Amino acid sequence: METLQRFSLRLLPISLAEKCLNPYTHGVPRAVTLAPLSRFARMSISKPEFLSSNPKSTFHNSFSSSLTAKAGWFLGLGEKKKTSFPDIVKAGDPVLHEPAREVDPEEIGSERIQKIIDDMIKAMRMAPGVGLAAPQIGVPLRIIVLEDTKEYIRYAPKEETKAQDRRPFDLLVILNPKLEKKSNRTAFFFEGCLSVDGFRAVVERYLDVEVTGLSRYGQPIKVNASGWQARILQHECDHLDGTLYVDKMVPRTFRTIENLDLPLAEGCPNLGAR
């Protein structure tokens, strides 16, 4: 358990500098797990942005990648051309700190709601992240999207993903989600958030949860999740109640990414399952 304190355990996947988007068609959802539904899907990449789990290396590469991405508009793409996906709203914006409202089931099939869902998927994948809630793009509606892929997971240390019980799952789109714990088992791990960029903190989460809601087609959906997927679901559902992970973090564990590998303060819980 002591070695777990040195892990770079985080909710966000390893960033991918060469990440691109491909056209993808809408498919018919399965009963529980939805296949990728966005018109945009990633191309496979030859090299990840981060090759080291060293937080200082991660910070440096992330910063360089950000500059490279911003400079991309000078590579024959036109001056100050705007991206086609929304910006991620940052902590402090009221939309992140107030409860979101439910989506009217009669509006789920509307062009407006479907565009919001597509925008969320694009923003999540471009960040990249493994989950996103509608308030994070400035929309106060109870919609979440989440996805964790083999591509993301293979760049994390196997020892780390095993401790997190992190396994890939297909894209999930859930409207008006309701979350219930299915056991009292919990785990302490570092989390991050696209809306609190550059920081991490330890959060205790339930290891087994059930989420019910509606699919993007208005069909009932139920997801039984454990391990890291359960953590992602809790993190995203918290967003819908105006709660950020820093509102639930273990005191004295908040830190910058570059200090992620430093030991926890005396008295802080060891990382891992309880």
Domains in the chain with CATH codes? 94-273 (3.90.45.10)
Rounded average pLDDT over 226-240: 98
What pLDDT, on a 0 to 100 scale, did the predictor assign at position 155?
86
Q: Which of 147, 160, 191, 236 is catalytic?
A: 236
What pLDDT, on a 0 to 100 scale, did the predictor assign at position 85?
76
For residue 21, pLDDT beyond 60: no
pTM (2 decimals)? 0.72
Mean pLDDT of the chain: 79
CA 164, 166, 171 angle in degrees (round to 5)? 145
Alpha helices (runs of H) in the chain, residue ranges in sequence order: 55-71, 111-126, 150-153, 158-164, 227-240
Does residue 126 sit in helix, strand or coil?
Answer: helix
236 is catalytic: yes
For residue 209, pLDDT beyond 60: yes
Predicted confidence band of residue 170 (pLDDT cuts 50, 70, 90):
very high
166 vs 5, which has greater pLDDT? 166
Give pLDDT tens digits for 101-112. 999 999 999 999
Does residue 154 sit in helix, strand or coil?
Answer: coil
Output the CA torsion sign for 89, 90, 91, 93.
negative
For residue 130, pLDDT beyond 60: yes
For residue 43, pLDDT beyond 80: no
